[in-house]
Each structure stands twice: as structure tokens, then as C-alpha cells.
Amino acid sequence: MTIFTRYIASIQIRLLMLCYGAFASIYLVIDILERVGKLTRSGGRPDQILLFFLWKLPEISIQIIPLAVLMATLLALGSLSRTSEITAMRCSGAGLLRITAPLLGIALVASLINLALSEIVVPSSFEKMRYIEEVQIKKKNPNTFFRQGAIWYRDHRDILNARMFDPDTATLRGITIWQVGENLQPIARIEATEGKLQGDSWQLSKAILYRYSSSGITQSTKKAGMKAEIKLSTTDLKTVGKLAENMGFVDLYNYCDNLQKGGYDPTRYLTLLHAKLAAPFSPIVMAFLAIPFSIRTGRSSGPAIGIGLSLVIGLAYFIVNAFLISFGQAGALPPLVSAWAANIIFCAIGIWLALTINR
């Protein structure tokens, strides 16, 4: 690594750490002010609340790292422009690519860190955070689980298994309910294509009821509809849906594969699956956007301009990305296109602006 590269990289790393710390502090302060009162009123102890926010740090990190890279890049190049160091570098024969290569390299490392966090750390930390909030503090039903790509729930002697939950229509699909006696001996089994909550019970559609004895199945009855007295709320299931969004790539891939094999439409989760790979690379996209903007503003780019530009660019990116993801989940766009479109569009804009500067 040359002195030139080390110099620019050291400036970028210092600013990146500063921006990360600032964004993380602001995020935590706002979140604490918003949540701590509710958690305290729900019966949360100080140690539980502290653990909740500690386990939330990985999730916060993957959201603020792209903005930290964007702002650090704008501020780094802005400071070099104000001191005429960019001009001196270009006069000495250094092109824009050589000047910005350390910045792009650091952004790539940040993207890989984001990918590792979202795949390895966040799934387990989110599950712990959710358990502290929903079970330990709010004392909600701990019997709802999302394991191995399926929903499991136990209510006394009823055990429910469902393939998926559609939050838009509040519908469970691919339902199997086991009714067990003492020593977990099966008494009956209900299989239904879907179920919707009506009052305190679930209305099942296209159900088959199997009754068991010690010798095996003794009776099977088909029913167009029947009720299941299971105290499972849609609030618990929406929490399960959040768990699906925070699954790792491999687990979510297996879940989509199981849904497809079972004849269910996995479009919603396929979009999330592709977004698992696309979203972590937003820091490198932010760097591609920040470089031409900071070079164009030149010596007039102070810290205020850098902060303002980073907020505008970051907000524009996340709004466009959110719209495209929602279109993919609704089936208006292919999942692969909706997940990667924002990255491709903004990266192309950054490259075009950089090429314009060279000319």
C-alpha cells in the first residue's frame, strides 16, 4: 500500500468511524426515547431494557453503515478539495480512479461486513431481542415459533403447524392441527388449506378431520369449513412475519423452496430473499454516488453541504428501494429485478456523473 493510498484511507476510516458513531448514537437516543416508556410500563426491568437495546445494535448497524459510508466519503473528498489536495493530486498525474480507489475499497469492505452481519449476526440477535420484548417484558404468548421454515404453536393439547402466514389478508396457509392426549398420544388431526381468524377461533377451509385410536386412524371426514378453538392472535403471527424478514439467506431460501414445493406462492419471500443479497451492497452504491457529487462541489463543499447531500442522497435511495421492493412483493416486478434495481440505477447514475467529470 502506497503512502498516497494510506493517507486517503486513513482520512476515510476516521470519518467513517465518526459518522457511524454519530448515526448510531442518534438512532439509539431516538429509539430509547420512543420505546423506554412503553417497555417500562409493560413491566420491563432496567437490565432487560439494556439487553434489548444491546441486541438491537447489529440491526441498527446494517441500516446506518450505508449512510455512514456516504457521509464519510462526501466529507473526506470535501476536506481534500477545500485544501486543494485533490487539485494537487490530479496535477501530479493521478486520475480520479486512483484518488477514489481507497474510498471504494473501504466501501466494499463495509458492504462485506454488512453482508456478514445480516447473514450471521442479525438473525440470532433479532430473535433474542424479540424474545426479551415480547415474552420477558410484555408477557406475550411464548408458544408461537418460526422454526425450519414453518410456524409452530401450542395451545394446551392442540399443536398447530402452518406453512406460511400472509399478513396482507391475515391468513394462515397449509395448516395441520394435532390434538393430543396424555403422554402426547394423538387423538385427532386436522388438515386445512387455509384459516382466517374470526372472533376467538380460526375458520378453516377445505378441512379433513382424522381421528385416531391405539391401532391408528379410525375415521376421516372432509369438511368445507370448520372452526378451530386455538388462541392464536394475528399480532403473534405478524411478529413471526418479522422473524421471517430477519432470517438468514440460507434459511429463507429453504423456506421459499418448501413453499414452492408445497404449491404456495413464495413471491413475497423471494423478494426478501434477493434483497438479502442486494441490500448489504448499498454502501458501495453510496460511495459511487458520493464521489462525483463531492468532486463537483469542489472547494465550496463544507461539512454542512456534505451532511445535507448525504441525507438527500440516502433518503432518495431508500425511498426508491422501498417502492421497488413493495412492487416485487406485490408481484408487479420480478423479485430479482425489484431487489437489485435501486442498486443498479443509483450505481449507474454515480458512474455516469464520474465519467462526466473526467471529460
| pLDDT tens per residue, range 137-161 | 877 665 555 554 567 777 777 888 8
- Torsion, Cα 270 271 273 274, to 10 degrees, reads 120
pLDDT at 279 exceeding the cut of 80: yes
CA angle 334, 339, 345 (to 5 degrees): 105
Q: Count of CB atoms within 10 A of residue 198's CB?
A: 9
* pLDDT score, position 320: 93
* Sign of the alpha-carbon dihedral angle for 165, 170, 174, 176: positive
Q: State percent of the chain over pLDDT 90.
A: 21
CA dist 136 to 45, 75, 233, 240, Å? 9, 43, 18, 17
Element containing residue 263 per DSSP (H, E): none
Counting every residue, how long is the chain? 359
Element containing residue 215 per DSSP (H, E): none
Give the tens place of pLDDT for each residue, 35-77. Answer: 888 888 888 888 888 999 999 999 899 999 999 999 898 888 8
pLDDT tier for residue 206 given thresholds of 50, 70 and 90 = confident
Q: Are 286 and 348 in contact (CB under 8 A)?
A: no
Please provide the DSSP assignment of 113-134 as one string: HHHHIIIIIHHHHHHHHHHIII
For residues 101 and 90, give the distance between their C-alpha atoms in angstroms, rounded to a whole number.
14
pLDDT at 218 exceeding the cut of 80: no
Which of 2-6, 76-80, 175-179, 297-301 has the lowest average pLDDT? 297-301
Q: What is the mean pLDDT of residues 173-177?
A: 85
Residue type, 54: L
pLDDT at 302 exceeding the cut of 60: no
For residues 249 and 276, give the distance between their C-alpha atoms in angstroms, rounded to a whole number.
6
The beta strands (E) that lie in 156-298 are given as 158-166, 171-180, 186-198, 201-213, 216-228
> String of b and e for 141-168 (b: at least 16 CB within 10 Å)?
bebbebeebbbebbbeebbbebbbbbee
For residues 15 and 58, give the distance between their C-alpha atoms in angstroms, rounded to a whole number.
20
Q: State percent of the chain over pLDDT 70.
A: 86
Which of 181-195, 231-245, 275-289, 320-334 has the lowest average pLDDT? 231-245
pLDDT at 340 exceeding the cut of 90: yes
pLDDT at 359 exceeding the cut of 50: no
